[in-house]
Amino acid sequence: MRDFGEILRAVGDFGLFQKLLLLGLSFQSFILPLFFSSLLFIQSDPGRHCNTDWILRAGPNLTIDEQLNLTLPREKDGTFSRCRMFVPVDWDIDAVRQYGLNETTECQDGWVYDKTLYDATIVTDFDLVCDKSYLAEVTQTAFMAGVLAGSFIFGPAGESYGRRRTTQIPVVLMLVFSVIAASSPNLYVYMVSQSTVGAAMGGFRINAAVLATEWVGVTRRSFASCVLQMFAAVGQCAMAGLVYFIRDWRLAQYVMAGPQALIILYIWLIPESARWLLGQGRTQEVNKLILKVAAINKHTVPVNLLEGVTDKHKIQSGGIKSLFASPVLMKYLLVISCAWFSINLGYFCITLNVGKFGLDIFLVRFLFGVTEIPAHLLCIWFLEVLGRKISLISTILTGSIICLLTLALPRDSAVAITLLVTTGRFFFNWSASVCMVYVQELFPTSLRQTAVGLASVSFRIAGLMSPLLNLLAIYHWSIPTAVFSILSLVSGALAFLLPETRRIELPDSTDEAEGNR
């Protein structure tokens, strides 16, 4: 039986076929960050006051200033209360002016919001303010929980049902439930819809990366994975532009549905992974795919190549049990999971705090996306020059040290802090890109999707915990940064336990994977 790497080189390991496949998957990667927009651009504490239009029944000609003075209590600093109002009374306007109102209550008829920054957000539409302000973080956590569930469900499912199907289904789910989220009549429908979108995002991301990687030869393997992530970085820039020009979150959701519908038109054309089919013993389908790939890449299929493919192939069994049965592979999984967890805990803590750095939120969000692009480009080059191991260790340690430096700065140093956290996030993003390549190369084809899915669970748990870790800032502003930076330092040290996988063919069996030590 021929090695699949040899077969791939014969029909073209990075020809037109692979480029078209990568482009099709990359366009969806470009769209993925846009689904975060309603969660990131929320203005968690918008300017507001209680709706007190009740008094207009007694004095319909009141000016806004008169209405507020008569119906709202003031805080100690002299500003109107954002969460309290005077209890409505059935008096005429002269009595209200003469005697005034003293008894206060919570806002009874909603709020009137300042629309200087946004026309509408989930905070203003669902009134996530005052005693409900914590629900803004809860919605972010629910979304991250969905992404976590998607990694856990679609990862192992890709081992049983193939990479193709578990890449296509999430595309449909993202379109359907993003539209439902935009039409949500209340917070609960929104949270369920966004959680489903998150699950689909998690499923697509890991399956698309594995599908692309398994079709690309050893010399361009890191390129495929990093390009997918680079398109996601460009999508972050597009997200900042989208919300800058469309400041109504519901309208922005509908606009996103347009390109998502376009993806559905062609996603059914993507092929299955030939490596996976070969592992399942479906050699006839592999045979047809090889001929198709060779024709698209304009390569001539050697006479004896197809004979090698049609030889009896041992079906590779995989799954969680097989993974747990190998101490070596379990060590790899734990180390890479620890690295991915700490990296993304820092990444999302910084990302979700985008509005708290003291600079324009659109500018900071755009800078975050722009700085990720060179991170992925540099990743491609450094992975081939320095290898996976050194790249992972150096980027994790550098990112964590830079973030720790922010603790030495005064809190009012908005520009300096923004520059440091953006740089730290740059290295965290770089190291996450290395992890995505590394985790696919450490495990055999029969376990690859399961391993990527399980490792992604740690990635998603970090995203789930990041809003909660950020809440600890109420006790001291430095706690979130200190926690994720120290964890990153530890995981960087543990990465010394991993083997180097540069320029080594993807393993197709557990024995081959363990032999990479």
Q: What is the pLDDT of residue 310?
A: 56
Residues in the chain: 517
pLDDT of amino acid 45: 77
pLDDT-derived band at 467, boundaries 50, 70, 90: confident
What percentage of the chain reaches a pLDDT higher than 70? 95
Q: Give the containing element (helix H, strand E) for 421.
A: helix 414-442
Instruction: Tell me: pLDDT of 316 over 70.
Output: no
Query: Is the CB of residue 342 less than 8 Å from the CB of residue 484?
Result: yes
* Phi, psi at 378, each rounded to 5°: -65, -35
Residue 188 has pLDDT above 80, yes or no: yes
DSSP 267-283: HTTPPPPHHHHHHTT-H
Q: Which residues of 5-25 are buried (b: 16+ CB within 10 A; e: fewer)?
A: bebbebbbbbbebbeebbebb
pLDDT tens profile 220-235: 888 888 999 899 989 9
**What SS3 class is residue 359?**
coil
DSSP assignment string, 71-96: H--B-TTSPBPSSEEEPP----HHHH
C-alpha 249/C-alpha 257 separation (Å) is: 13
Q: Is the pLDDT of residue 17 over 90?
A: yes
Kindly report, residue by residue over 247-293, the tens digit of the pLDDT.
999 999 999 999 999 999 999 999 999 988 988 888 889 888 989 99
Exposed, middle or buried by CB within 10 Å (0-12, 13-18, 19+), for 57?
exposed
Dist CA 269 CA 284 (whole Å): 19
**Confidence at residue 16, expressed as pLDDT on a 0 to 100 scale:** 95
Predicted pLDDT of residue 68: 94
Please determine, for residue 163, whether its predicted confidence score (pLDDT) is greater than 80: yes
CB of 228 closer than 8 Å to CB of 22: yes
List of residues 6+ apart from 153 with CB closer than 8 A: 199, 203
End-to-end CA gap in the chain:
24
What is the Cα 433 distance to its own chain's centre?
13
pLDDT at 40 over 90: no
Handedness of CA 240, 241, 246, 247 (dihedral sign): positive
> What is the structure's pLDDT at 39?
80
Q: What is the pLDDT of residues 323-350, one digit of tens each?
A: 888 899 999 999 999 999 999 899 888 8
Give the closest residue to 484 by CA, choosing from 473, 475, 495.
473
| Tokens 């379109």 found at | 175
Q: What is the token pair recorded at 173?
A: 């789910």
Q: Tell me if 194 sits within 8 A of 36, measured CB to CB.
A: no
Nearest to 373 by CA among 76, 33, 12, 146: 33
Label each residue of 202-266 as H, E or C: HHHHHHHHHHHHHHCCHHHHHHHHHHHHHHHHHHHHHHHHHHHHCCEHHHHHHHHHHHHHHHHHH
Q: Using the structure block, give the residue that is written with the tokens 């969000």.
A: 365
Q: How confident is the model at residue 306 (pLDDT cuts 50, 70, 90)?
A: low
Three-class secondary structure of residue 489 per DSSP: helix
